[in-house]
Amino acid sequence: MEFEDELFLEEDKLGMTITSGSVTLEKNDSNLIGISIGGGAKFCPCLYVVQVFDNTAASKEGTLQSGDEITAVNNINVKGKSKQEVAHLIQRSQGSVTIQYNKLHAEPKQGKTLDIAMKKVKHRLVENLSSSTADALGLSRAILCNDSLVKKLDDLQRTQDMYQALMDHTKRLLKAFFDLAILYKRFGDVFCEIGVRELQQSANEAFNQFGDAHRQMEKYGIQMLKRLKPILNDLGTYLHKAIPDTRLTIRRYADAKFEYLSYCLKVKEMDDEELQFAQLQEPLYRVETGNYEYRLVLRCRQEARAKFAKLRSDVLVKLELLDSKHVQHLTDQLTRLIEGLASYHTQCQELMHGRHWFPIELDMVGTTLNSNINDGLQTGDYEDEDDDDELLETTTESATEARETHDLVTPLADLTINAHHNNTNTNTNTTVREGNFEEVNLLGEF
């Protein structure tokens, strides 16, 4: 054994530490404990766990991880043995297997090299390429590239656009009903004002009732808007919180997926490198020194896979909830909107149904005269008392002068036109009667 130890170089742990331990695992019905083994003779001085499979004794127990070194099986030292020999030791065990190990304490950040970052970029580019295009460019495509969950981003964008359009249309609709309610109020105020000025009792009541009905329609409209306004808040919550949160989760899932694929590709490249050197019977430095670089990548791949699986589960749950909520939520909001509008229209129809306000009989002559008098009293210009006194004095003087002139002219008129008195009197009476007749006809036509 001392001679064999001299054949191997000193282990290069890359600054990582190890701790020893022991774990007992129960076999399943297939006589397996759920791990795969790598390394061993004749090129590597140690054996290590390559992968821990899901839903097995090793994964449920949780102690062994990828990259951990196996030092003994059932207290049998496996140093210098090949991985096939260790596998036979595990298979020959009955019931349970006790494994001694050296746990590798690795920092995941230490494994995130520039090569991993470039591989993530490549996977992001290949994600949006078709298979034929990727093959033509010589780019390898992982199985997870055609992931339906990532395609859900397009569906989310369409859903977001639909909700945004629905919100904008609902806002415009409610704004139109608000403007209509204000118009009803102004319309009702005008008719009530007309009714107040109407002298006839029936017309007064008709105008006032018609105006009050429109005022009531305005109140119904405001009540409807208060009931329907929360719909916008609910739509906004779904649009600005639920959808962005799901989109962020999908993007985090996609990033974890690309990182996991990058580590898988890195492991594949390192396996190919080992196989190539083994075929050439050439030693590989990292393998001869314990293959810690490879074990570090294995540990990073396992953690990336766990993160990827967790985020995938979260995405599936969120998408399922979002889809169910989308159908139920949209149905509820549209139902509330339709019921609110229907209730408003029903209330307005009940206000106007069975009312016989029209035609309305109006006393246009009395209303016009009364309106002119009122307008004159309300808008007329009042002169000062001094001006009224002067006007009264001037009128009195003019009347006195006219009376004196009449007294002087009357005797002369009796002397000069006595002969024609009868004819003139007759013509004057006729003219007056004709004038009176025209006035009567005009009033009748009016």
Q: What would the pLDDT profile of 340-367 be if each residue is shown by its tens digit? A: 999 999 998 888 887 777 777 666 665 5
- Decide: 319 and 253 in contact? Cβ < 8 Å: no
Tell me: pLDDT of 231 over 80: yes
Give residue 65's pLDDT: 87
pLDDT confidence tier of residue 138, bands split at 50, 70 and 90 = low
Does 357 reside within a domain?
no
Task: Give the chain's domain count.
Answer: 3
Residues 391 and 440 placed together within one structural domain of the fold: yes
- Decide: 326 and 228 in contact? Cβ < 8 Å: no
| Mean pLDDT lowest among 151-155, 178-182, 319-323 | 151-155
Q: What angle do CA 275, 111, 58 make, to 5 degrees?
A: 75
Residues 200 and 309 placed together within one structural domain of the fold: yes
Does 247 reside within a domain?
yes
Calculate what percentage of the chain has a pLDDT beyond 90: 15
pTM to 2 decimals? 0.63
Give residue 210's pLDDT: 87
Residues 169 and 282 placed together within one structural domain of the fold: yes
Eight-state DSSP code of residue 82: B
Tell me: pLDDT of 24 over 60: yes
Residues 149 and 242 placed together within one structural domain of the fold: yes
Tell me: pLDDT of 412 over 50: no
Span 83-106, average pLDDT: 86
For 17, list phi and psi in degrees, rounded to 5. Answer: -110, 160
Does 11 reside within a domain?
no
Give residue 73's pLDDT: 87
Residues 221 and 348 placed together within one structural domain of the fold: yes
CA distances from 60 to 20, 54, 66, 103 (A): 20, 8, 14, 17
Give residue 283's pLDDT: 78
Does 372 reside within a domain?
no
Task: Round the average pLDDT of the chain to a whole number and report it.
Answer: 76
Give residue 175's pLDDT: 94
| Mean pLDDT lowest among 52-56, 222-226, 376-380, 415-419 | 415-419
Does 228 reside within a domain?
yes
| Mean pLDDT lowest among 262-266, 337-341, 368-372 | 368-372
User: Between helices 201-237 and 292-352, what is the axis angle to 10°?
Assistant: 170
Give Cα 290 to chain centroid, integer Å.
55
- Tokens coding 23: 């774990």
Residues 305 and 424 placed together within one structural domain of the fold: no
Give residue 183's pLDDT: 93
Does 133 reside within a domain?
no
Residues 83 and 162 placed together within one structural domain of the fold: no
Residues 153 and 98 placed together within one structural domain of the fold: no
**Range of the structural domain that residue 403 is part of:** 384-445
Calpha distance 4→92 (Å, rounded): 26
Residues 168 and 255 placed together within one structural domain of the fold: yes
Eight-state DSSP code of residue 12: -
Q: How many helices (H) and strands (E) does the chain have?
A: 14, 6
CA distances from 56 to 37, 94, 300 (A): 15, 17, 20
Tell me: pLDDT of 220 over 60: yes
- Decide: 320 and 200 in contact? Cβ < 8 Å: no
Residues 97 and 158 placed together within one structural domain of the fold: no
Give residue 402's pLDDT: 47
User: Between helices 243-279 and 114-127, what is the axis angle to 10°?
Assistant: 120
Name, of 236-240, 276-280, 337-341, 381-385, the range with top average pLDDT. Answer: 337-341
Output b/e per residue, 146-160; b: 16+ Cβ within 10 A: ebebbebeeebeebb
Does 119 reside within a domain?
no
**Which CATH number does the domain housing residue 101 bear?**
2.30.42.10
Span 255-281, average pLDDT: 88
Give residue 136's pLDDT: 66
How do residues 167-203 score in pLDDT, each as one tens digit? 999 999 999 999 999 999 998 999 899 888 877 788 8
For 230, list phi and psi in degrees, rounded to 5. Answer: -60, -20
